[in-house]
Amino acid sequence: MALLSVQNISIKGIAACVPKQKEYTNNYSLFTEEEKELFIKSVGITERRVAPFEITTSDMCYHAAEKLIADLQWCKEDIGCLIFVSQSTDYLLPATSIILQHRLQLPNTTMAFDVGLGCSGYVYGLQLMASLLTSGQIKKGLLLVGDKSTLSTHFEDKSTYPLFGDAGCATAMAYDSTAAPIFFNSQSDGAGEDAIKILDGAARNTVRDDTFEIVEVEPGVKRSRRHLALKGIDIFNFALKEVTPNIHELLKFATIEKEQVNYFVFHQANRLINESVRKKLKVLDVSKVPYSIQLFGNTSSASIPLTMVTQLKQKLQDENTLLLSGFGVGYSWSSCVFNSKSIYCSDLIEI
Q: What range does the domain containing 168 cover?
A: 1-351
| Inter-residue contact 128 to 135 (CB < 8 Å) | no
Tell me what pLDDT residue 1 has: 57
Based on the structure, what is the number of domains in the chain? 1
Whole-structure pTM value: 0.96
pLDDT in tens, 303-339: 999 999 999 999 999 999 999 999 999 999 999 999 9
pLDDT in tens, 233-292: 999 999 999 999 999 999 999 999 999 999 999 999 999 999 999 999 999 999 999 999
pLDDT in tens, 101-150: 999 999 999 999 999 999 999 999 999 999 999 988 999 999 999 999 99
Q: Say which CATH number the domain at 143 has.
A: 3.40.47.10
